[in-house]
Structure 1
């Protein structure tokens, strides 16, 4: 635990000192939200105020947009010999990965808080109860945990820092092919079917139901199952790659 805390502090300081990472993780999702709500919001007919519809999707986007920095940080430690220095210092191997994951989760939580604050400033008025807000927080943590492990695995598996950053592009783009921006029913044939059954749509719909005060058990079960599955794949892949390359 002590080694993990040290790695967490190290990784978090690296993120704070990198203006590009801070912009991508926190400020860019806020800019996207302002763009979609203020610039494009009136163009979408979604049956409710667009800020109410868009906020759940923006929460997921806020989580995804900080993943590139996590992947590059994990790859940098691996390819630049930092891991070997930690081994000489007798630092726990598990702490290296745990520090990356927890630092990524903290960045995600800050980004989500910025998105929700922006949403309230734009007129977002959720109907969620205290229990439903706890559900939102729990799902944010679970989602961050799962995609952070997958991102660390992608970073460790990449051959260079550049390819590590590119490896997260599908995760960043996937929310745009979900119900984050518009309902899947309004998409073209083929894309609509993909949007309905891809992992992020039930997660977004769970956020949307919780914030509206009308949660769906089916969406919540699907969202939890996807998050657990992604976390297991990411953890197994990351630890196996770390043991092989470190």
Structure 2
């Protein structure tokens, strides 16, 4: 068997291991999906009437606001779901299972690959669940088949980028408890972007930060594909952020994992 075939076989085994863990311990999946769903229901039914009044030139309402806020909640479902990746990686690193893997004749790359692919499957399921709930509470996208196909590609790319970042955060964490908290800024940053209110309603300094932080172009790209709002060069900016985050997360993860391997 060639080295590539060996690596693919070992990676498939690790992916199956992570998916099996997800099935056997569904409470984590429920928790990670539940948080964005709770945010969606909270903002639609508690704040939607008031916040929606400022959408669409003051003519909006709860129905308008659910369309506005859903793209942000979809992105939050990604950042929430990948928190489980950090926890899972930290568990493997602190409980000794990775040390056992290193004594076996398996490809080194398969350990992290299993976490990335397994988490990608979990994240896609989380996004599907959030979109389903959004449709039930009144979300009405205008996207056609082409836009939906482009959206799937964009969301998978975003998930892939944040998963690699979460893998690095899990490797950098000394304990599982630290890993469960280190990714919290990823959940909070959409609030400081265009996800819940337009950036032009913010104070000057906060508006500048909101417009130039990575989550705003990501949200606006999702919003444009789903609702037909003007995109301009926003998808290119979002793509650049995804590539930068994915590459940075991968290189950081590789450095941390190799450092642990030499100890």
**Residue 128 of structure 1: aligned partner:** 143
Q: How does 1:38-77 map to 2 (within 5 A)?
A: 38-44=45-51, 45-47=54-56, 48=60, 49-77=64-92
Aligned length: 246
Structure 2 Cα separation of the partners of residues 214 and 57 of structure 1: 14
Q: Find out whether 1:5 has 2:18 as its counterpart.
A: no
* 2:174 alignment partner, SS class: coil
- SS of 1:11 mapped into structure 2: helix
Aligned ranges for residues 2-41 of structure 1 at < 5 Å? Answer: 2-41=9-48
Which of structure 1's runs of 4+ aligned residues deviate more than 6 A?
Answer: none
Q: Which TM-score applies when normalising by structure 2?
A: 0.89
Residue of structure 2 in register with 1:198 after alignment: 213
In the alignment, structure 1 segments of 5+ residues that lack a partner are none
Cα distance in structure 2, aligned partners of 1:151 and 1:126: 30
1:245 equivalenced with 2:252 (yes/no): no
TM-align CA RMSD: 1.4
What is the TM-score when the length of structure 1 is the normalising length? 0.95
Kindly provide the CA deviation profile for residues 127-153 of structure 1, in whole angstroms up to 9, marking residues without a partner as x.
Answer: 112111111101110000000001000
Q: Distance in 2 between matches of 1:192 and 1:24?
A: 32
**More displaced 10-residue stretch of structure 1: 41-50 or 133-142:** 41-50
1:144 and 1:137 map into 2 onto residues whose CA distance is 10
Match of 2:106 among 76, 83, 91: 91
Any conservation in 2 of the 1:30–1:118 contact (CA below 8 Å)?
yes
Is there any run of 5+ residues in structure 2 with no aligned partner, and where?
1-7
CA separation in 2, counterparts of 1:194 and 1:23? 32
